[in-house]
A = this chain, B = another copy of it.
């Protein structure tokens, strides 16, 4: 008993929290309650009027409210339209067929049963066609009405009366639902779509900032959460931002479907408001987010670049990260405030920062590869290079041996290899006559491979960041198309 009351208390707290974080959920629930109470009153009044013959069909009003009343105005309109169209067309068709079936005389029942089969088959088949998906509910209502009119009609032959009374009560229920839904604190899908796009911008910006900073601070996962490894939702701060932006596409599609039903309201003043462009903008953002995703992959990777090398590019990477985040945040706030861009060159700083990063890479590119091994490589310039690199060894302050030790120390190899540093250092002095010489050759090869891979990881991160910057242009283009079509106001600053 104790645990039961505990669980109820816990449940209550959770529900309270939900209402506190999104008061619209409370509002929606109250609106449903209000509609039901109003319908109940209407039925009561009708019950005490001269037309109370109809009362046996009054449950259809209740049924309509429960079924049609949805969270947002758009969804309610879409469902109401589907329901009305399905009911009217089905009733008409069923009346026709029922009249005809009377000619069949004693085969009447058979005709009706065959018609039910055919209707069930056709409707169910057609509604599975992908383009028909928005009207799925309409088809269902059509089938329902069709069956009910045919069946309940055949006893009394009062087809018309059945259908008409149903229509009256459905109109009553639907009317009350619509009035309450639209007039009492309406909840708009379009507004939700707008907010979702803004939220995606902020999420990707947060992920980008977190990835660049995390990479520079050599942030490492002790153990990668299995939720990330199987691409499930997780509240990891670097991960959740881009994941929700990438995963929100189906949510956007359904919000779009409802938003298209909504009349002009609030700041969305025009008919045929370009809701599709919001979804396209979000798609372009997703295209950028894929690069952030790949950058996060560099942090998750088992092979990591040395912290010392990351320090060399620290300023440039940080600058690109900051400027990229700024662009995303700026675009996000412009979408939120529905303002046009004040100048064409919103990408000027981030392009500049990306260029600086590239120049730095250009200058320091020897850090990104293992120049030591060039001497051993079989490329066309072999002879000349060998000569040069030998001279390198003499001239350069850190001699070959120390450089090798250096990179073995700071390249992280987390799994995928059983090589430890000791055996690696040993292998530098192995003799070919040694018993496990081949083993050591193997080991040496392995560790060399990780060395180069670990440096390349830095190049990859930088390159992905640059590609992210390149993709921003597409995002800005989509934003400008949206801001034109949706007639955003000119920027105040």
Chain A contacts to B: CB under 8 angstroms: 14-15, 18-19, 25-26, 28-30, 32-37, 40-41, 43-44, 47, 55-56, 58-59, 62-63, 66-67, 109, 112-114, 116-126, 128-129, 140, 143-144, 147-148, 151-152, 155, 228-232, 246-247, 249-250, 280, 283-284, 286-287, 290-291, 293-294, 297-298, 301-303, 355, 358-359, 361-366, 368-371, 373-374, 376-381, 384, 387-388, 391-392, 395-397, 415-416, 445-446, 448-449, 451-453, 456-457, 459-460, 462-464, 466-467, 470, 473-474, 478
Given contacts A36-B117, A368-B459, 16 further A-B contacts (CB under 8 A): A29-B120, A29-B122, A33-B120, A34-B120, A40-B112, A230-B284, A231-B249, A290-B290, A303-B466, A361-B456, A362-B449, A368-B456, A380-B397, A388-B391, A456-B459, A460-B464
Q: Are A124 and B28 in touch, CB under 8 angstroms?
A: yes
A109: chain B residues within 8 A (beta carbon): 44
Closest B residue to A233 by beta carbon equals B249
Q: Are A62 and B148 in touch, CB under 8 angstroms?
A: yes
Closest CB in chain B relative to A472 CB, distance in Å? 10
Closest CB in chain B relative to A22 CB, distance in Å? 9
A449: chain B residues within 8 A (beta carbon): 355, 358-359, 362
A55: chain B residues within 8 A (beta carbon): 155
Q: Are B381 and A363 in touch, CB under 8 angstroms?
A: no
Closest CB in chain B relative to A159 CB, distance in Å? 14
Closest CB in chain B relative to A67 CB, distance in Å? 7
Closest B residue to A453 by beta carbon equals B358
Q: How far is the CA of A58 from the CA of B151 in the complex (A)?
A: 9
A29: chain B residues within 8 A (beta carbon): 120-122, 124-125, 128
Q: How far is the CA of A66 from the CA of B123 in the complex (A)?
A: 11
A40: chain B residues within 8 A (beta carbon): 112-113, 116, 147, 151
Closest CB in chain B relative to A106 CB, distance in Å? 13
Best-surrounded residue of A56, A112, A464 (most CB of chain B within 10 A): A464
Closest CB in chain B relative to A268 CB, distance in Å? 21
Q: Are B368 and A396 in touch, CB under 8 angstroms?
A: no
- What are 7 sample pairs from A and B whose C-beta atoms fall under 8 A apart? A36-B116, A37-B114, A47-B155, A59-B147, A355-B445, A362-B369, A388-B392
Closest CB in chain B relative to A236 CB, distance in Å? 14
Closest CB in chain B relative to A351 CB, distance in Å? 8
Known: A47-B155, A249-B247, A473-B416. Contact between A396 and B369, CB under 8 A? no
A298: chain B residues within 8 A (beta carbon): 467
Known: A109-B44, A117-B34, A144-B62. Contact between A125 and B26, CB under 8 A? yes
A56: chain B residues within 8 A (beta carbon): 56, 152
